[in-house]
Structure 1
Amino acid sequence: MPRCHLVSALPLRRAFSHKAPCARLSLSPSLLRPGQSPRALLPAPRHKALGRYSPPPSERLVSTATTITPSPTTTTDLPPALEPYSPPKTGLLSRLPTSWVPYAELVRLDKPTGSYYLFFPCLFSSLMAAPMVGASIPSVVGTSLLFFAGAIIMRGAGCAINDLWDRNLDPHVTRTRLRPIARGAITPFQGLVFTGTQLLAGLAILLQFPPSCFFYATPSLLFVAAYPLAKRVTYYPQFVLGLTFSWGAIMGFPALGVDLMSNSAALTAAGLLYSSNIAWTVLYDMIYAHMDIKDDAKAGIKSIALKHDAQTKQVLTGLAITQIALLAGAGIASGAGPAFFIGSCGGALVTLGIMIKRVNLKSVKDCWWWFVNGCWITGGVMSLGMAADYLVRYVEEGDEDSEKSTA
């Protein structure tokens, strides 16, 4: 039998390059059309047999000029990737050594508004207590500066305690996910040690005041520690924050030598001023809470903003009225004059009214603006009214003393 040499058109050509027996191809004449050569029934050459594949019409792709609309399941519907942490490039923190930056962020050194909110009640009580005991201007200024230093330190300690409590919640909130403990730049143990150092520094400031201040200040530490826990068990953690941040409304009286236990007028004034500041704290922190309202709902964090989202403006209005009424009561109890009621009470009424009307609670940026600037607008006019009342009464008392000495 003759032998033939097969060369396959497939890539396995080398496997068939050996000589192998093959059968002679026989073609039946019945398969040929008239005039057709038998060669036509042989397989086509490789370059003709392997033509371009053309899919059936049902599987053909659309033209490249056609715009393809992505389906709802494509990645275009996924939330944008969150930006990673980057060290501060500007501001105070950018000038600090790299190892200090996480601790400065922990105490919110770059966001001092909370320290101002903690300081204002101390200033209010100092200015209200000063005319009741005839305190000198240098004494009031020195006391206020000590309070300011203490506010910065204790606010930092409060932030550290808050972040230690919230170390498992902060990573789930957009605004807080890059805080030092949440992102792992500071371990919980390091945060605890740093908090203890801050509390010792706060104690050093406190010891500069009269000894009675130590006993008045100590209970406030319970509220400092309880506030982060309140967010887990109640929709009104802002009330607990108010109890904490307003404590300075009591401290100004003993700091200037007023014995609250023996002076009923001063005790009444301090109590009403403290209550007024609680209402103010809940008011501004309710606006602040609206910045995190969506993330808080997902993370299971409770707040007054979530509880009364649909009635926020009405609640804010009620808080403002309560704050001003209690402030006026404190002025009456302390014997304040017209400058206090016009400047402090009237100023608070106007500034709070404007803020409540204009704040856009659906805008994070707008809520932050009013939280920061409302501190100085409302706190500033209240301080100026109290300072004016103190100076007027201080001058009047000086005139009375000079008349008595000449008589």
Structure 2
Amino acid sequence: MAQKFNGADTPNDTFWIGGTSYMTPGCARCNTWRASVRSLVAYRATTKLQRLSTATDPNSSTTTLPAPAPYTPPQTGLLSRLPRSWVPYAELIRLDKPAGSYYLFFPCVFSTLLAAPLASPVAAPAAVLGTSLLFLAGAVVMRGAGCTINDLWDRNLDPHVARTRLRPIARGAVTPRNGVVFAGAQLLVGLAVLLQFPPACFFYATPSLLLVAIYPLAKRVTYYPQFVLGLTFSWGAIMGFPALGVDLLSNGAALAAAGLLYSSNVAWTVLYDMIYAHMDIKDDAKAGIKSIALKHDKETKQVLTGLALAQVALLAGAGIAAGAGPAFFIGSCGGALATLGIMIKRVNLKSVKDCWWWFVNGCWITGGVISLGLAADYVVRYVERDERDERDGEAST
């Protein structure tokens, strides 16, 4: 910035800032002081204007951040095979990113396997498998509906986050009105799936819709929206019991097992979503989006460890309430403790790629060992029941 004073002791000092002259009558020292102050103010103002102009001037020599990459239709994978008009809706339900559906499905499997030995008689393998497949269909549909509702609420926030700015509603590929219609259609399909279960399931499932609707709002008012997500995604930990005909209101052991299993899954959801939230932590801070990762950035691994211990302890409590055997405590509880410990130790929270890898694969690693332990315990107890029935039959003859 050019700056010139034409004579320190002349009655009329003149100085130029950016080509503009200022006349300062009066004593030389006073004039020099006034000139310096005005010079500083003008310099800062002009510099700010220059920065603004260079940020938008393509011919400027000043280095600016590259413009965000434009949206490119998928060229590979499942979405590339769909008609172009379908692609935004497939993206809206995250059809190409099914990890969320699995996280919604696993609590349903856990509760189905835990409830099966408590049914009277013990649920047959065909019933357990059929119920699990229905839950899988429901998880896929309701996860898609949840994503659509979430994106409708977040349509003014998503453009400010690098990872979400090209989501269909945020980029204008799906209008809010069409998004509402699409969400309604998915909820109707979800209702059709729900009606395939015993009638009692409708009573237990309905309250979860309120949680689906309010989760996106939680990000605006609390640093702990992951707990609301946990309450939502863990609902399946209750549903397996009424799905197999176990009445929670009249069976105290089943009610305790369901409550403890539900709480365990809430802890698990908060744990994995805290890792997921670290992928957006910088953009979330700029956009004013709250998360547990932002609140506990410096002590994330300690929080994750506490959540893992709570998850396993509550899972063990559910097994005790349900009368589970060694296969459950060794396979499910021991396996969960080991896999969660490895994940917490190895995940690099500063790496978006690493956080994503553990989020995607963690559901299969931890969810898989819990399911295997529960399945082994169910098989043992089912075989024991058959053997007991045979002995009772022989004794009666």
What TM-score range do you get, normalising by the shorter chain? 0.7 to 0.9
Q: Which residue number in structure 2 is paired with residue 158 of structure 1?
A: 146
**Aligned match of 1:128 in 110, 114, 120?**
114
2:298 alignment partner, SS class: helix
Alignment of 1:245-260 (within 5 A): 245-260=233-248
Q: TM-score, normalised by structure 1?
A: 0.82
User: Scaled by the length of structure 2, what TM-score is found?
Assistant: 0.84
Residue 381 of structure 2 corresponds to residue 393 of structure 1:
yes
Shift of 1:76: 5.6
Cross-structure match for 1:98: 84
Deviations 1:25-48 (A, max 9, x none): xxxxxxxxxxxxxxxxxxxxxxxx
User: Is residue 301 of structure 1 aligned with residue 289 of structure 2?
Assistant: yes
Give the SS at the match of 2:135.
helix
Q: Which whole-Å CA distance do the structure 1 matches of 2:62 and 2:355 have between them?
A: 30
Report the count of equivalent residues. Answer: 336
Q: How far apart, CA to CA, are the structure 1 residues paired with 2:196 and 2:61?
A: 61
Aligned to 1:313: 301
Cα shift at 1:183 = 0.2
Q: Who is 1:224 aligned against?
A: 212
Aligned: 1:234 with 2:190: no
What residue in structure 1 maps to residue 372 of structure 2?
Answer: 384
Aligned to 1:109: 95
The equivalent residue for 1:45 is none
- Alpha-carbon separation, structure 2, partners of 1:102 and 1:176: 13
- Distance in 1, matches of 2:116 and 2:242, equals 11
Q: Distance in 1 between matches of 2:67 and 2:182?
A: 33
Could you report, residue by residue, the CA deviation over 1:50-69 in whole angstroms, capped at 9, with x for unpaired residues?
A: xxxxxxxxxxxxxxxxxxxx
Letter in 1 for 2:147: C
User: 2 CA distance for matches of 1:78 and 1:331?
Assistant: 58
Distance 2:380 2:160 in 1: 52
* 1:351-370 superposed matches below 5 A: 351-370=339-358
Question: 312, 322, 340: which one pairs with 2:328?
Answer: 340
Q: 5 Å matches for 1:160-199?
A: 160-199=148-187
Amino acid at match of 2:175: T
- Please say if 1:201 is aligned against 2:189: yes
1:93-130 per-position Cα deviation (integer Å, ceiling 9, x unaligned): 11111100000000000000000000000000000000
**Could you say which residue in structure 2 is the equivalent of 1:244?**
232
- Residue 391 of structure 2 corresponds to which residue in structure 1? 403
**Partner of residue 142 from structure 1, selected from 96, 113, 130:** 130
- Deviation for aligned residue 1:75: 5.2
Q: Does 1:325 align with 2:313?
A: yes
SS in 2 for 1:98: coil
TM-fit CA distance, 1:79: 1.6
Correspondence for 2:64 among 62, 72, 78: 78
CA distance in 1, matches of 2:238, 2:62: 56
Task: Give me the CA root mean square deviation.
Answer: 1.0
Equivalent residue of 1:259, what SS?
A: coil
Q: Which residue of 1 aligns with 2:104?
A: 118
Q: Percent identity?
A: 81
State the alpha-carbon separation in 1 of the partners of residues 181 and 296 from structure 2: 38
CA distance in 1, matches of 2:388, 2:62: 78
Q: Secondary structure at the match of 2:299?
A: helix
Q: Which amino acid aligns with 1:337?
A: G
Q: CA deviation at 1:265?
A: 0.2
Rg comparison, structure with higher value? 1
Cα offsets for 1:169-211 (capped at 9, x unmatched): 0001000000000000000000000000000000000000000
Give distance in 2, aligned partners of 1:237 and 1:168: 18
Structure 2: state its 5+ residue gaps: 1-53
Q: Which residue does 2:272 correspond to in 1?
A: 284
Shift in Å at residue 78 of structure 1? 1.7
Aligned counterpart for 2:249 among listed residues 242, 248, 261: 261
Deviations 1:237-282 (A, max 9, x none): 0000000000000000000000000000000000000000000000
